[in-house]
Amino acid sequence: MQSQYIDRLQTTHNPINANSAGTKDKGIDKAFNVAAYTFNSSVRKKNYYFVQVQINKMAYLYPLFYRPQIATSDSKVKNFKNTAVGEATWNSFQWKNK
C-alpha cells in the first residue's frame, strides 16, 4: 500500500510493486515505515491501526483477490501476447474468438 510500490510509476517492473490501487498517502507511508523499523508491539499496533482507519476513511479501492495475469489453454483465443514485463497477459480490449 505504500506509494513506493506503485508498479506503473516505476521504470523497472518488479513483482514486489504490489500497490495495485495506486494509493499515494503520506500518512500511510509514514505509518508503515515507523511500524517496520520498531520491535515495540504497541508502536506497531498503533501505526497499523492508523493505516486501517485511513483506508476506511479515504475509501481506497483494494482488491481482495488480485491475479495479475489470465492464462488459457483454449486454442480458439487469439491476441494473447507477452508483455514488456515478460508475463503473458491478455489485453481485454483486443479479445477475439477465432
The model's confidence at residue 65, banded by pLDDT at 50, 70 and 90, is: low
> What single letter denotes the amino acid at residue 21?
A
pLDDT of residue 6: 76
Residue 98: pLDDT above 60? Answer: no
When comparing pLDDT for 59 and 70, which is higher? Answer: 59
Provide the strand spans (E) within 5-85.
77-78, 80-82
Q: Is the pTM higher than 0.75?
A: no
Instruction: Please give the span between the terminal C-alpha atoms of the chain, in angstroms, as a whole number.
Output: 40
Report whether 2 contacts 29 (CB < 8 A): yes
